[in-house]
Amino acid sequence: MIAILASGAVALIVSLFGTPLFIRFLVHRNYGQFIRQDGPTAHFTKRGTPTMGGVVIIMATLIAYAFANVFAGSRPSASGLLLLFLMVGLGVVGFLDDFIKISRQRSLGLSPKWKIIGQGVVGIVFSVLVLQFPNDRWRTPASTHISFSRDLGIDLAFAGATVGLILFVIWANFLITAWSNAVNITDGLDGLATGASMFVFGAYVLVTMWQMNQSCQILSSVGQSCYEVRDPRDLAIIAAAIVGSCFGFLWWNASPAKIFMGDTGSLALGGALAGISILTRTEILAAIIGGLFVIIILSDMIQIGFFKMTGRRVFKMAPLHHHFELMGWGEVTIVIRFWIIAALFVCAGLGIFYAEWVVG
């Protein structure tokens, strides 16, 4: 418990005091954001705001995780290292995207093709490795079962180990691509994605702590209510570190933002969300906990699909937060109301998670 609190506190301090230093570095280098021309006109004033702030979020998380393990005198687990690999790997893809935008002075970075390839390479490596490294109780970081709040009866390895591995890799990469793009699309208003991520990963701190206390690996009498999660403590430390790093970053990212997280941060946070859902066996439940991200990416898909079919638009502009901007809502009003929606989804997800344990 102390290691989890220490992780969040260290990440908060590093992010809170490291972000302004990073802002000065970016300003000195003239690394500013370029704004898409077809977006809301109110965003043109944000042109030149430093971006790539996700670097601070990632670094604060890594430093906090290392500190917590040294503080507790424990070794990093396979689950923790693989989750950080996924977060950093997608952060590198996002960094390349941001850097191309800055260096070529345009609002478009990596082409969709190369971004998907980058996400795919990182995702494939992650999804293969999480089925390796069994501990002394023969539990690997992930399983080939599809999960809700624990593994369901749907086993992707039903047709054999090789086919099961391929199906799991496809399923895991779908989750990784979907969540990283969902957080990326949500990152369109000052503080929106950062605040929503705080709520979601805060929920996962509670989920992993509960799984740690109800682990099948430590309970003397194992029943259906225990959790077959390999390293819940390490996952709780990382989730707390992400909450702390987002909390500190939000101080500078809140409207009017002094810095944007950029694709560096949004892809990293989305990847971390996908990874922690896989490692905690809450892949489907995550769609409820992170419901705001789901709604926003669905609004984009609906807009594109409906326009291609009919030539008309459902929303004034997609994703959804831009629709409300064009309706005349203030940016801060939209962000706060969307935070409330994110919090309601988190409460619903945690309620379902606990209710399933009670019934089980």
At 32 the three-state DSSP class reads strand
Nearest Cα neighbor of 13 from 255, 249, 254, 265 is 249
What is the model's pLDDT at position 44? 47
Round to whole Å and give the CA distance between 27 and 66. 29
Q: Measuring CA to CA, how many Å separate 281 from each of 94, 172, 285, 288?
A: 26, 12, 9, 14
**pLDDT at site 228:** 87
pLDDT of 161: 65
By the 8 A CB rule, do 191 and 250 touch? yes
Q: Between the CA of residue 350 and those of 111, 201, 239, 316, what are the distances in Å?
A: 37, 12, 15, 33
b/e map of 125-156 (b: 16 or more CB within 10 Å)?
ebbebbbeeeeeeebbbbbbbbbbbbbeeeeb
Which helix (H) or strand (E) element contains residue 201? helix 192-213
The 3-state secondary structure of 82-106 reads: HHHHHHHHHHHHHHHHHHHHHHCCC
pLDDT (tens place) for every residue of the chain, 360 residues total: 899 999 999 999 999 999 999 999 988 877 766 555 555 545 545 666 888 999 999 999 999 999 999 988 888 999 999 999 999 999 999 999 988 888 776 666 688 888 899 999 999 999 999 999 988 888 899 999 999 988 887 777 665 666 778 899 999 999 999 999 999 999 989 999 999 999 999 999 999 999 999 888 776 555 567 888 999 999 999 999 999 999 999 999 998 999 999 999 999 999 999 999 999 999 999 999 999 999 999 999 999 998 888 888 988 898 999 999 999 899 999 999 999 999 999 999 999 999 988 886
**So what's the pLDDT on residue 34?**
57
Q: How far is it, in rounded angstroms, from Cα 228 to Cα 224? A: 10
Residues in the chain: 360
Query: CA-to-CA distance for 92 and 120, rounded, in angstroms?
Result: 13
* Residue 137: per-residue pLDDT: 81
Alpha helices (H) in 254-284, listed in sequence order: 262-279
Q: Which of 92, 90, 82, 143 is nearest to 120 (CA)?
A: 90
